[in-house]
Amino acid sequence: MGQFINIPTAGMQCISAYRADPAGTPLGGIVVVQEIFGVNAHIRRVVDGYARDGYVAIAPALFDYVESGVELAYDEAGVARGRALVAEVGFERALESVASAAQAIASAGRIGVVGYCWGGTVAFLAATRLGLPAVVYYGGRSVPFLPERAQAPLLFHFGERDPIIPPGDREKHFAAQPQAEFHVYAAGHGFNCDVRADYDAAAAALALQRSLAFFARHLGGPAA
């Protein structure tokens, strides 16, 4: 449905991004922020799904600063390589890419962000630093940034059995961002990804329904 395009960043380096457009007039735009595994087939399906739901959707390839065309497997080697790339890219460049992607689809109307795992924390920072409404799926690196004041609405999705975000860390989110919307599912980490062992179809469907309702409220489209 979508296709890869090139977008400029603030540093004048072009990175690739996967973009998909809806069939009709857009309800707004959504920047999809990857996990540590790159803009792989799963993330492309997420982008395509938001386009089918009426949004211009785009996933910037955050690893392009270091290595282009990264698509990692959901195994130990993929996790190790993904973590190394995350450390090399850093949050500042990742957030710069989100801003560039938002600019690339600005004609769609109001822009929101959704992110998964590492991308969930990047999405959180998009709300605190860029003022973009954000949906955060199990952002496991967010705790150090929780004191930052949100400049836009936030929705958090957590897995109750997620070892990366234990109950104590969830409580820190609740305390630091009391204005946000929170949902906890009887699922593990990565429950939205249909190629991961922790995939939970029911939790993923409910989280998507809530995410679409959130974007409908804050980007101006009809409620899901």
Whose CA is closest to 145, among 167, 165, 124, 131? 124
Determine the pLDDT at residue 10: 82
Q: Give me the mean pLDDT over the 6-22 stretch.
A: 91
> 11 falls in which pLDDT band (50, 70, 90)?
confident
224 within some domain: no
pTM above 0.85, yes or no: yes
- Rounded-to-integer distance, Cα 35 and Cα 71, Å: 10
The CATH number assigned to the domain holding 131 equals 3.40.50.1820
86 within some domain: yes
Instruction: Residue 52: count other Cβ atoms within 10 Å of its Cβ.
Output: 13
C-beta separation of 55 from 107 below 8 A: no
> 223 falls in which pLDDT band (50, 70, 90)?
very low
How large a percentage of the chain has pLDDT more than 70?
98
Whose CA is closest to 130, among 108, 157, 110, 107? 110
Backbone angles phi, psi at 4, to 5 degrees: -80, 140
What are the catalytic residues? 162, 189
The model's pLDDT over 113-159, given as tens digits with 9 standing for 90+, comes to: 999 999 999 999 999 999 999 999 999 999 999 999 999 999 999 99
205 within some domain: yes
Tokens standing for 60?
A: 């910037």
60 within some domain: yes
What's the structural domain count of the chain? 1
Instruction: Residue 187: count other Cβ atoms within 10 Å of its Cβ.
Output: 24
Domain that holds residue 33: 3-219
